[in-house]
Structure 1
Amino acid sequence: MKTTIYLNNTLWFSVVVGCLIMFGFISCNHRYPRPDESFSNIYQAKETTLDHIALENDKEFLVNVAEIDLEEIKLGQLAQHNSQQYEVRVLGKMMEVLHYKSLKNIKAIAKKKSISIPTALSNHAIDTYGKLNKESKSDFDFAFCNIMVLSNKDAIDSLEKVLVESNDLDMIQWANLMLPALRSNLNQAITCKRNAKSSSLRY
C-alpha cells in the first residue's frame, strides 16, 4: 500500500515538474525573439542608419559644392571684365567654364538623389563679389588670384575626401573628372598671383 502511494506521488511529481518545464520553455520562446530574427532586425536597423548618414553627408557636400560653383562662375566673369592682365582674364574664363561644367554635373547627381541644391549666390559669395568688385585696377588681379588659390585648394581637399569616404559611384566619377582640372587651375592661379604681385610692386 505504501509502495503504491509512493509511486503515485512520484508520478504526480514528475507530471508537475514536466508541465512546469514545458510552460517555462513556451514562455521563453514567446517572450524573446529567436537569435537569428534579432540579429536580422539589428542588421537592418544599422543598414538604415548608415544609409541615412550617407545621404546626409552627400546632401551637405552637394550643397556646398553648388555654392562654390555659383561663386566661382560669378567671380570668373568679374575677372574677365575687371582684370588688366591677359593671363588673369584667361584664368577667369577657365574658372567660369570649369565650374559651369561642375554645376551641371552636380545638378544631375542631386536630382538623381532627390536633393535640393542652391540656385543663387550665398551671402558669403555676394560679400566676396562686392569686395572684389571694389578693388582698384592695380589691386584687383592679386586679390582675385589669391581667392582662386584658396578656393581651388579647398575644392581639391573636398574632392579627395569624396574619393576616400563616399561609396556613390556618380560622385566618385565626378570627383575623378574634376580633380585634374582643379589642380591645373590651382597651378595657373599660383602663377597669376605671383605675377600680379610682381606687377603691383613695379608701380
Structure 2
Amino acid sequence: MKAGLLLLMCILLAALLAFSDRFKQDAADKAFVYSAADGGMLEVKLGELAQKRATMPKCKDFAETMISDHGKINDELKALARKKQISVPTRLSTAKQQIYDSLAAESGEKFDMLYMNIMIASHEETIGLFQSESNKGQDPDLKKWADSKISALKHHLEMAKALFDAAPQPGKN
C-alpha cells in the first residue's frame, strides 16, 4: 500500500514538473507574441504619424512602407496567435506609448531625424526578438513564422539607416 502511494506521488510529481517546464516554454512563446505585436503596432502608429508630420518626402515614403509591411505582419501574427489561443495586446505598452508620445511632441526636421532614429533602434530590437524566437522558441509554427520575417526586418533596418544617413542634420548647413 505504501509502495503504491509512493509510486503514485512520484508519478504526480513527475507530471507536475513536466507541466511546469511546458508552462515555462509556452510563456516564452507568449512573451514573443506579445512583444512582436506591441512592436508591430508601434511601427504602424509611428508610420501613420510620420505620414502626417514628416517633412522629407522619402521619410513619408518609408512611413508608408512601414504601415503596409508591418500591418500585414501584424495581421499574420494575430491570425497565428488566434490559432495558438494566445491573446495579443490591443493597445501599446507603456514603454511603446512613451516612444510614440516623444515623437509626437516633435516637428520639422527634428521630427524626421527622431523618427528615423526610432526606426533604426526599433528594427534592431525587433530583429533580435525574432532571431531569438527563431532559434530558441518552443512552438514550431511561431519559430518558422519568426524566421520567415527576419530578412524583411533587416531590409527595413537598412532602408532606415540609408535614409538617416542621407537626411540633412537639423541645425547644420
Q: Same fold (TM over 0.5)?
A: yes
The answer on 1:93 being equivalent to 2:78 is no
**Distance between the aligned counterparts of 1:34 and 1:118, measured in 2?**
45
Q: Residue 120 of structure 2 contacts residue 161 of structure 2 at CA under 8 Å; is this kept in 1?
A: yes
The answer on 1:44 being equivalent to 2:20 is no
Superposed counterparts of 1:14-93, under 5 Å: 30-33=1-4, 41=12, 43-93=14-64
Give 1:142's aligned residue: 113
Letter of the aligned partner of 1:64 in structure 2? S
Letter of the aligned partner of 1:146 in structure 2? N
- TM-fit CA distance, 1:183: 0.1
Give 1:5's aligned residue: none
- TM-fit CA distance, 1:120: 1.9
- TM-fit CA distance, 1:125: 3.0
Q: Residue 29 of structure 2 contacts residue 138 of structure 2 at CA under 8 Å; is this kept in 1?
A: no
Give 2:154's aligned residue: 183
Give 2:79's aligned residue: 108
Give 2:170's aligned residue: 200
Answer with 1 or 2: which has the greater Rg.
1
Count of matched residue pairs = 173
- TM-fit CA distance, 1:101: 1.5
Q: Deviations over 1:100-153 (max 9, x none)?
A: 112112212221222222112233333322221221312111110000000000
The answer on 1:168 being equivalent to 2:168 is no
Q: Deviations over 1:140-189 (max 9, x none)?
A: 11110000000000000011111121131221121122101100000011
- TM-fit CA distance, 1:32: 2.0
Which SS does the other structure have where 1:32 is aligned? helix
Structure 1 unaligned regions, length at least 5: 1-29
Letter of the aligned partner of 1:110 in structure 2? A
**Distance between the aligned counterparts of 2:95 and 2:7, measured in 1?**
53
Provide the identity percentage.
26
